């Protein structure tokens, strides 16, 4: 589903988005890049990769290229297919992702592949944002192949606050956007079989004005923070947030949690 400019000011609320097709990694090599050819894959649109290259970014579940679009209180399940939300372009302004569950975006990478290779899901993120002034708040973002949130070049002024970001390949990445603010999130258990670049917060080619402050980190496989070029302050690292039951995605915090006051403003969306 794509929301194009000028279809602005549309709200999608209290909906289920479950996406099991296509399977783009059938046309992706081990490095996560598109490959040409006539590879036949079951249930793939038009039944083949085609003569050109494919990239998971071309097949998101939800693409937003309009302004003032809101997704609130939605259940967004990628069914282990591909990117769930792609926010792209100069017209993608002031969009809101709030009080949603966003999960299973991209193929499972923790023990599910033989040989296990996270690169097959390297481009598959829960929220892939290179829009303008996006607000990502109060969400539960978990079990996604790569980033819970990826802020990509050409984006500007995005905010991610009060989210639980758990069990992704990587938590949040600053990757060339400017004036990105990441505050008051609980970011935990980033992990993969590769065991590298699986941070709570990471940066590569960071843009200017990035802020990482007042977040609660713990259990991230490669380390909690590797965010050079980003202003950091008052982050808590190396803690167990004491979720009620992370395995069933009950992310309420126990009364003695060190992360009380962080994360969403409601116990569950």
Strand partners, 21: none
Residue 150 in any domain: the answer is yes
Q: Which of 43-52, 134-143, 233-242 is predicted least confidently?
A: 43-52
In order of 51, 55, 79, 154, the CA distances from 87 in angstroms are 27, 16, 20, 11
Residue 43 in any domain: the answer is yes
Residue 265 in any domain: the answer is no
Domains: count for the chain: 1
In order of 57, 67, 82, 205, the CA distances from 33 in angstroms are 10, 30, 13, 20
Distance CA 111, CA 68 (A): 39
Residue 269 in any domain: the answer is no
Residues contacting residue 25 through CB under 8 Å, at least 6 positions apart: 56, 106, 107, 120, 121, 124
Residue 264 in any domain: the answer is no
Where does the pLDDT of residue 31 fall: very low under 50, low under 70, confident under 90, or very high at 90 and above?
A: low
Residue 174 in any domain: the answer is yes
pTM: 0.88
158-192 residue pLDDT tens: 999 999 999 999 999 999 999 999 999 999 999 87
């Amino acid at each position: 589903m794509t929301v194009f400019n000028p279809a602005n000011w549309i709200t999608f609320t209290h909906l289920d988005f479950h996406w099991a097709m296509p399977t783009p990694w059938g046309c992706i090599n081990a490095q996560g890049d598109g490959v040409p050819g006539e590879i036949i894959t079951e249930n793939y649109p038009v039944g083949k990769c085609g003569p050109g290259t494919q990239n998971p970014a071309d097949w998101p579940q939800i693409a937003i290229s309009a302004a003032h679009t809101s997704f609130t209180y939605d259940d967004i399940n990628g069914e282990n297919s591909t990117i769930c939300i792609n926010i792209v372009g100069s017209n993608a302004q002031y969009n809101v992702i709030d009080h949603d569950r966003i999960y299973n975006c991209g193929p499972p990478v923790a023990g599910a592949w033989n040989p296990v290779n996270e690169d097959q899901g390297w481009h598959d993120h829960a929220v892939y944002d290179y829009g303008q002034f996006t607000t990502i708040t109060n969400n539960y973002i978990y079990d996604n192949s790569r980033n819970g949130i990826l802020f990509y070049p050409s984006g500007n002024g995005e905010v991610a606050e009060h989210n639980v970001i758990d069990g992704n390949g990587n938590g949040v990445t600053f990757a060339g956007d400017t004036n990105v603010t990441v505050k008051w999130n609980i970011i935990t258990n980033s992990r993969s079989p590769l065991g590298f670049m699986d941070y709570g917060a990471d940066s590569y080619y960071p843009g200017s004005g990035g802020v990482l402050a007042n977040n609660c980190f713990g259990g991230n496989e490669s380390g909690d923070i590797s965010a050079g070029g980003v202003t950091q302050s008052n982050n808590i690292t190396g803690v167990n947030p004491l979720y009620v039951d992370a395995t069933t995605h009950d992310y309420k915090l126990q009364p003695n949690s060190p992360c009380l006051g962080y994360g969403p403003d409601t116990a569950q969306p």
